[in-house]
Amino acid sequence: MNFAKYVKVFDIGLQNTFVYRWNFLLRSVFGIVPLIGAVFFWKAIFQSKGGGINGYDYSSMIFYLMITVFLENLITPTEDEWQIAAEIRDGKISSYLTKPMNYLGYRIVLFLSYRLLYIAVVLVPIIVLAWIFRDHLRMPEHAITWLAFALSTAMAAFLQFFIAYALAMIAFWVLEISTIVFILYSFEFFLSGHVFPLDIMPAWLQGFIHWSPFTYELFFPAQVFMERVQGADLAKGLAIEAGWLLLAWLSARVLWAKGVRKYQAVGG
């Protein structure tokens, strides 16, 4: 296995993305607006309640929101699925098929280089936010939490990426995939814990949440960092996450293999 060529791809990815640094910065600045909105909204809710909600108070809710914002910027693929789908639709993948390189590997390396640059740019506003909300942030008490957090975050990143990749494969069969992508987005938006922590949902939904793949895209790593899930539950959660990761990886591979067989290189 020759890693040098993938290192080159990483480098190209960084250079290409660097052009969009202003794009990233603006995006993250605008991304702060809904966060501030959510903070005020939760403040009003806790004032009206006069107590905690399912183990959350105002402080831990802000902490939760901050972690998910950080995680989202760190691991959520932003344009990968659109780019992959466009390359398939426009017949551009023909040129990759002739290269001595695995397309999935190529895409993973690009994804990593995008994320690295993205988080580097976005770190400035995130640090400012963390300073503003510093009284509400609590570092984990146990050293092992850092390890579990790193592991669950890495798996969440690849889980999100493989789901996006598998989804983009639909472009082999359907010209316009944006509706399908947005349907998935709407599930992810609410079920990954982006809007609110999933454990404030009613008890009868918790079984579903426990097994749903979306839970492990954001909510679970956040819970790990907050030490709201520990011991046997932590191990079990990591196992479920690994299971979904494996499944997403397999579907990405299978869909690619099937798609390429059908591929006709339109306009390529």
Partner 1 sequence: MSRYLEIYWLMIRNSLIREMNFKANFLLWIIVEFLWFVGQMVFLEVIYAQVNNVAGWSKWECVLLIGTHQITSQIFQAFFYVNLAELPELVRTGRLDLMLLLPVDAQFAVSTRKFGMDNIINVLVGVGVVVFCLAKLHVVPTALQIALYIVAIGFGVAIHYAVLFGLATAAFWIVRAQGLIYGYFNVFNIARIPESVFPYSLFKIIFTYFLPVIVVANVPAITLARSFQQPWTGLAQLAFGAVFIVAITRGFWRFALRRYSSASS
Question: Quick one: which of 80, 251, 259 has its CA closest to 161?
Answer: 80
For partner 1, the binding residues in 6-45 under the rule CB under 8 A are 19-20, 22-24, 26-27, 30-31, 33-34, 36-37, 40-41, 43-45
Work out how close the CB of 201 gets to partner 1 at its nearest, in angstroms, rounded to a whole number: 6
Do residues 226 and 146 lie in contact, with contact meaning Cβ atoms separated by under 8 Å? no
Site string for partner 1, 191-210 (x = CB under 8 A): ----xx---xxx--------
Q: How many CA atoms lie within 13 A of 183 on its CB side?
A: 4
Longest dimension (CA), the chain: 64
Question: Quick one: which of 102, 110, 83 has its CA closest to 13?
Answer: 110
Do residues 117 and 14 lie in contact, with contact meaning Cβ atoms separated by under 8 Å? yes
Work out how close the CB of 97 gets to partner 1 at its nearest, in angstroms, rounded to a whole number: 26
Show the tokens assigned to 59. Answer: 């402080």
Q: How many residues bind partner 1 (CB under 8 A)?
A: 37
For 32, counting Cβ atoms within 10 Å of its Cβ (0-12 exposed, 13-18 middle, 19+ buried), the class is middle
Work out how close the CB of 168 gets to partner 1 at its nearest, in angstroms, rounded to a whole number: 16
Work out how close the CB of 177 gets to partner 1 at its nearest, in angstroms, rounded to a whole number: 10
Three-state secondary structure call for residue 50: coil
Selected binder of partner 1 within 7, 15, 18, 49 (CB under 8 A)? 49
For partner 1, the binding residues in 102-141 under the rule CB under 8 A are none
For partner 1, the binding residues in 164-183 under the rule CB under 8 A are 176, 179-180, 182-183
Selected binder of partner 1 within 186, 231, 261, 264 (CB under 8 A)? 186
Do residues 217 and 164 lie in contact, with contact meaning Cβ atoms separated by under 8 Å? no
Nearer to partner 1, 41 or 211 (CB): 41
For partner 1, the binding residues in 50-109 under the rule CB under 8 A are 53, 79
Do residues 117 and 24 lie in contact, with contact meaning Cβ atoms separated by under 8 Å? yes
Do residues 153 and 75 lie in contact, with contact meaning Cβ atoms separated by under 8 Å? yes
Nearer to partner 1, 2 or 179 (CB): 179
Residues that bind partner 1 in the complex, under the rule CB under 8 A: 19-20, 22-24, 26-27, 30-31, 33-34, 36-37, 40-41, 43-45, 47-49, 53, 79, 176, 179-180, 182-183, 186-187, 189-190, 195-196, 200-202
